[in-house]
Amino acid sequence: MAVSRRKPKSVEPTPVSMINWTRADPEALAKFDPKSKVCNMNCGKAGGDPRCYKELLFLCHDC
């Protein structure tokens, strides 16, 4: 009786982010108070977005 063996799974490389995320100036971001701005555009993180909510709010020109 022959024993069938599993094929080893191929390891796919992790995808490199194709999006160049705009980053805020660290000094300006440190001075920014997120309570001074109200989000009305439902700003949120996209998949793979390395920015925090404070940085998203700081960079959003619609809020």
Burial of residue 55, with CB atoms counted within 10 A of its CB: 0-12 exposed, 13-18 middle, 19 or more buried: buried
Using one digit for the tens of pLDDT, what is the confidence trace for 12-51? 766 666 788 899 999 999 999 999 988 887 777 888 889 9
DSSP secondary structure letter of residue 40: -
Ranges of each domain in the chain: 26-59
Report the predicted TM-score, pTM, of the whole model to 2 decimal places: 0.64
Give the pLDDT of residue 10. 78
Give the pLDDT of residue 14. 62
